[in-house]
Each structure stands twice: as structure tokens, then as C-alpha cells.
Amino acid sequence: MTYQGIAIFHIGNDKVVEGHVLGDTETLKRQLVRGEIAAVAKELPRNFNISLASEREEEWAADVMSRSEPWKTLGRSFDSSLQSMRNPNCSLLVARGENAGPIGFMLIQSEGVAGSPYIKSVAVEEPFRGAGVGTQLLQFADAIFQRRANHIFICVSSFNKKARALYERLGYTIIAELREYIVPGASELLMHKTLPKTIPAVEQICGV
């Protein structure tokens, strides 16, 4: 990925305090998000690995999505799932297990809802569900975005009760209901969370 334009930043106390951009601002925004992801990932212990997905992992994530709930009920195919994974406005993160193979993923959009971060999808391979991988991915998103955002959003299907319980446990609350938005008889619930001002230690993210 390349940026065509001019970007001038003023740095104070090792942070960007002011910036002026001329040119392709959307590409620059995506590059900055990827830089933030890499910075947080470097702080993680060696036995905990979350980073941007490779092309092969994009296909793996699409396969997991297309054969898992709630997406099966929502009618999501492999092709439409892969299109989501490769959306240039989103970043696909993959959690890897001890053997370095992918075990979970999270698709995020840095300005998805009213200019605030939006978690589009979170999924974990079936053998690893219930082991805290989803929680770690969501807390990783907090660590990325609370450096520059006050709010974060996620959406959950009304029939996906386990996911809703997880999100509520992590501080999300329902702020809107979209009735029969995708499939008859079910709602999509928009959830919101205010991001804390303090950045959690990596031990909190990793549950160690």
C-alpha cells in the first residue's frame, strides 16, 4: 500500500499532536490504523499473537464465517464473506494459537459508526471457543482505539445470545434495534461502549 500526497505531523511527547494532510486521506488513515495495530501487537508476549491477516488467512476467515453462526442463519456465503474480509476500508486481525495457526479473527472499521470505531465481525474456530480468544480480540480492539477514540460499536443478532452476553460482560450496551433488518423474525442490535482513558496493560489483554 502506498500513499500519494503530503502529510505533515507535529510530534510532542512521542505522540502526534497535530497533522495536516494533502492528497489521499483515506489511504493514509488506513495506514495509520495498521501502524497502531502493529504497535499494540509488539507489546504482547510471545505466546500471544494477534496481527493483520495474510491473504491465505483472509480465505480462512471467510471459510470460518460462512460455516458458523450467526452468519449461516444470515445467509452469508463464502464469496460474500471473502469480499468482507478484503474490504479496503476494514482491517482483518487474526489470533494465532501455540502452533502459529489461526484460531480466531476480528474485522474492524476505524470510522464505521458516526466516525467511531466499529467491530464488524468476531469469530473463533469451534475447537477453541470458550477459551477466551474472543475476549482477547475485543480487548485488543480497545487497546488500539482508545488511544484516539472515545466510543466503539458492535452489532449482534438477536438470536446470538452467547455473543450478546460476552459483549455485555465487556461493557457494551444496546442502543438501537433494527427489526428484521437481515432475516425475518430477528433483529440486529447495535451496541455501544465508552472506551476508558487508561490503556490496559498487556497482561490484562492476554488474561495473564
How many angstroms separate the CA atoms of 193 and 150, rounded?
9
Bridge pairing between strands 49-52 and 91-96: antiparallel
Give the pLDDT band of residue 204 (cuts 50, 70, 90): low
Q: At what angle do helices 25-42 and 133-145 cross, to 10 degrees?
A: 120
Q: What share of the chain in percent tops pLDDT 70?
A: 76
For 109-141, write each residue's pLDDT tens digit: 998 899 999 999 999 999 999 999 999 999 999
Tell me, what amino acid is at 2?
Answer: T
**CATH classification of the domain holding 46:** 3.40.630.30
Write down the residue that cell numbers 497535530 correspond to: 18
- Structural domain boundaries enclosing 136: 5-206
For 151-197, write each residue's pLDDT tens digit: 999 999 999 999 999 999 999 999 999 999 999 999 999 999 999 87
Q: What's the structural domain count of the chain?
A: 1
